[in-house]
């Protein structure tokens, strides 16, 4: 069994007079990201940035303080000790003060997830009680958690054998949606088009499997770096991958054609007999054809 990473936070999950020792672990990672740096091409050295003040030049880090802008080039300067005085101490407990249905929480509020586990055997029973109670009621617990000087609104919900704690954004951190949607007219579209689109959605519906979705840019970037390191030819993306969005001349005909191309989902019993691949990949979906013995799609072209 692989060892668990170091806990991000340790404290208590509190429900009224019941306190359960818990540990938080990061549920996301960015270790696979390929970082790019700015390089001075003639020398091949990395570009570094120097902290300067216009009219003064380079300055020492010890001369830097923080400030809040109140007007153009006008700031209220805040000393480090003043900021320390208002800094919140990291809390040792998440108080579940309210419970709501998960559907009530606008998805825009979800920010970052953490795994929650019991801290030691003595906490396991109480942990399981809270987890199972949340599961049976279909509710999400809301509370606050202070970490690193910032008070976070959090949502706690069941997840497998454990719990997930999601930090939530505050209302003032969201932008209003209306300015973005105001230009969309109120149209009364043809009923047949809605039925066709509904049928297309039904045929393409299947359980969510995140493993089937890949970050194509990250993969292409890694391949580019490896090929350059090895001194091999550079591969460019085919023009078919860069097409501008086309205009649909006849929407209802395009929908009919799409429905005809989308293979309906087969029952699980049929998929087990080799029908899964055909059900998951509609005919004529516009995907590149396989080439070579590997059978993998090859949308790339070699640069001459």
* pTM of the predicted model as reported, rounded to 2 decimal places: 0.64
Please tell me the distance from the alpha carbon of residue 141 to that of residue 97, in angstroms, as a whole number. 7
CB neighbour burial string for 41-51, b if at least 16 within 10 angstroms, e if fewer: eeeeeeeeeee
Is the domain 9-28+88-173 a CATH 2.40.290.10 member?
Answer: yes
Point out the least confidently predicted range of 140-144, 174-178, 211-215. Answer: 211-215
In the predicted model, what is the mean pLDDT of residues 81-86?
83
Please tell me the distance from the alpha carbon of residue 242 to that of residue 240, in angstroms, as a whole number. 5
For residue 194, give both structure tokens.
Answer: 């809605």
Query: 147 or 242: whose pLDDT is higher?
Result: 147
Please tell me the distance from the alpha carbon of residue 82 to that of residue 272, in angstroms, as a whole number. 66
In the predicted model, what is the mean pLDDT of residues 133-162?
92
Read off the pLDDT of residues 98-108 as tens digits, 9 standing for 90 and up: 999 999 999 99
Would you place residue 278 in the very low, low, confident or very high pLDDT band (cuts 50, 70, 90)? Answer: very low
Please tell me the distance from the alpha carbon of residue 11 to that of residue 166, in angstroms, as a whole number. 16
Point out the least confidently predicted range of 1-5, 41-45, 110-114, 288-292. Answer: 288-292
Point out the least confidently predicted range of 26-40, 59-73, 140-154, 176-190. Answer: 26-40
Listed by start position, the domains of the chain span 9-28+88-173, 191-286+296-302
Residue 110: the pLDDT is 96
Residue 207 has pLDDT above 70, yes or no: yes
User: Residue 132 in 3-state DSSP?
Assistant: helix
Query: 5 or 111: whose pLDDT is higher?
Result: 111
């Amino acid at each position: 069994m692989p060892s668990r990473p170091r806990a991000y936070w340790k404290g208590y999950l509190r429900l009224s007079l019941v306190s359960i020792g818990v540990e938080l672990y990061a549920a996301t990672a960015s270790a696979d990201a390929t970082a790019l740096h700015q390089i001075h091409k003639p020398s091949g050295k990395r570009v570094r940035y120097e902290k300067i003040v216009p009219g003064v030049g380079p300055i020492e880090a010890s001369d830097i303080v923080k400030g809040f802008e109140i007007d153009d080039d006008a700031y209220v300067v805040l000393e480090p000790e003043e900021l320390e005085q208002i800094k919140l101490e990291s809390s040792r407990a998440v108080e579940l003060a309210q419970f709501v249905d998960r559907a009530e929480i606008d998805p825009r509020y979800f920010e970052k997830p953490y795994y929650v586990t019991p801290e030691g055997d003595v906490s396991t029973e109480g942990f399981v009680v809270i987890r199972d109670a949340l599961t049976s009621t279909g509710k999400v617990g809301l509370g606050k958690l202070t970490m690193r000087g910032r008070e976070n609104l959090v949502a706690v919900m069941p997840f497998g054998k454990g719990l997930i704690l999601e930090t939530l954004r505050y209302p003032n951190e969201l932008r209003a949606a209306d300015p973005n949607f105001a230009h969309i007219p109120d149209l009364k579209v043809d009923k047949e088009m809605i039925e066709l689109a509904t049928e297309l959605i039904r045929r393409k519906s299947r359980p969510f499997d995140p493993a089937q979705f890949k970050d194509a840019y990250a993969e292409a970037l890694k391949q580019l770096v490896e090929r350059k390191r090895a001194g091999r030819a550079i591969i460019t993306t085919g023009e078919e991958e860069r097409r501008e969005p086309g205009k649909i001349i006849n929407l209802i005909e395009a929908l009919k054609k799409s429905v005809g191309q989308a293979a309906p989902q087969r029952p699980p019993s049929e998929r087990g007999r080799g029908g899964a691949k055909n059900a998951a990949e509609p005919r004529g979906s516009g995907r590149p054809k396989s080439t070579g013995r590997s059978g993998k799609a090859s949308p790339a072209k070699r640069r001459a």
